[in-house]
A and B are shown apart, each in its own frame.
Chain A
Amino acid sequence: MPVAPFVIGLAFAVVLHGLVGWWLDSGPGVASTVAALFVVAILVARDKPQALSLWLGVMIGMTATLLSIGGGTMWPLVIVIGGVMTGMTILGAWAARRLVSLNRKGGAA
């Protein structure tokens, strides 16, 4: 598994919490996180293993942050919902990157 995307994902989750607080507590927090993660994923997730590695890093960083601030009474749901949202964002970024790449190849041919 690629290490760099994992570390970037981990750092992303921790730094983002420092900047905007717990991201799932507000609409702007969710929007800014999804947008920022999409950009990071476009730059980092060049293939499936890298996308997966990035997502795992984000998830572990997010879970550690959640536990450090107190998970609340629905923490497993928070992790699942956060995981689905970050996963979909990274998947979307990877798909977008792939689409652009295919278009470029098609144009070059």
Chain B
Amino acid sequence: MAHQITRYLRTGALVGVLATLLPAAMLATASEQAGSQLSAEEDLGDTYYNLEGKAGRVTTRFDDGSVAIAQRDADGSIRTQLSNTDGTEIASLHVRGDKALLRKAGRLPLETLINRRRQTLDWANVEVTAQVRGRASEPRSIEAEFEGGFVARTETKDRIYTVIYRYGTEVGRLQYLPKEQVLAWKFPGVTTGWVDPTRLKKVGGWKFKRTMAWATVQALAFYEFHTKKQQTPLPPGVALDQRGWLQRALDAVVTPVYANDAGCDRLHWLDNSIFRPCCDDHDRCYSANGCNQTSWWWWGSWSCNNCNMNVITCFASGGDYQPFYPSA
């Protein structure tokens, strides 16, 4: 029975991840074959575009200081305006079906054909910039306003970092580390976890390009799908609490923190410092090995001790230490 429950939970956990992260990746595989006829467009699947379609407005800020704001009209067409650093409008683009009307300041309007099946607000922002500059510009940040009061803000430096709010209150955040190809997320009370290429090996690894626009939609996906999943009852006889009696007694005294805060717990003034990677590695290591705050003093697994020794070494060596952490 215990074995069956464990198996169910493992399957459930995998399904949970698949339900929120992988549909896009799997659908991307199917559409990649068809996508070869659609120029260089990468199709992320219906799930992705359904969620993206909930965005009414996307603001993209570029490295050169220009800002593009795209809005979706009731008829599905997209209007985007590009402004320079002082707010002066440089250009606008109106995309309707396969036609786009480009207006540049001081020039006659130009109608062009769009060879793109999936038209998204973030794409329109990048497109208008490319039309004006004559080259693709790198977005520095994206802010997407979705229906239901959700606003997702994504920034990038050495990593992609998204925070999602609902009616002004933060409901979760995620970050993607390009070098390690690790995605970690935390939505308090909803879902917390991480995936890396090792974990994704079962489904063939990452199958699409991880971009800021994807992270913005992915954040909404985590919240929406996991909130719905929580409302689905478990079959009779399956309990969620798999802790031993001793652990439960201990947890009753000291509340365990399985789900870490993003960044340095109780040391958040270091979140933008060189110590941040130490904290993130420690969070991932804890998540991978099922550790909690009692792992510092309670006789537990060697893996948790390893996590703790690594974070101490990392802090002691000025934050540049890259520890090894065992994968789950």
Contacts and interface: CB of A to CB of B under 8 A. Distances in A.
B162 interface: no
B264 interface: yes
Interface in B232-289: 255, 257, 260-261, 264-269, 279, 282-283, 286
A29 interface: yes
A24 B270 CA distance: 8
Contacts of B257: 70-73
Given A72-B260, A75-B293, A77-B311, A24 B286 contact: no
A26 B267 contact: no
B265 A81 contact: no
Given A73-B283, A73-B286, A25 B266 contact: yes
- Interface hub of A29, A30, A77, A81 (most chain B Cβ within 10 A): A77
A75 B311 CA distance: 12
A108 interface: no
B325 to A, nearest CB: 13
A73 B315 CA distance: 14
A2 to B, nearest CB: 30
A19 interface: no
A70 B312 CA distance: 20
A99 B190 CA distance: 56
A78 B269 contact: no
A43 B263 CA distance: 36
A49 B262 CA distance: 40
A74 B311 contact: yes
B296 interface: yes
A52 to B, nearest CB: 25
Contacts, number: 58
A78 B268 contact: no
Contact of B268 (A25, A71, A73): A25
Interface size class of B (residues with CB under 8 A): 20 to 34
B280 to A, nearest CB: 12
Contact of A24 (B266, B279, B293): B266
A81 B265 CA distance: 13
B292 A73 contact: yes
B184 to A, nearest CB: 14
Interface in A7-32: 22, 24-27, 29-30
Q: Most chain-A Cβ atoms within 10 A of its Cβ — which of B257, B267, B292, B315? A: B267
A33 to B, nearest CB: 10
B267 A24 contact: yes
A29 B286 CA distance: 27
Contacts of B261: 72
A26 B268 CA distance: 6
A29 B267 CA distance: 11
A92 interface: no
Contacts of B265: 71-75, 78
B282 A74 contact: yes
Nearest to B286: A73
A66 interface: yes
Interface string B295-319: 0100000000000000110010000
A54 B257 CA distance: 31
Nearest to B259: A73
Given A76-B296, A78-B265, A81-B267, 4 more contacts: A25-B266, A74-B265, A75-B266, A77-B312
7 contacts: A22-B266, A24-B269, A70-B293, A71-B257, A73-B291, A74-B264, A74-B311
Sorted nearest first, the 4 A-B pairs with minimum C-beta distance are: A72-B265, A72-B266, A25-B268, A78-B266
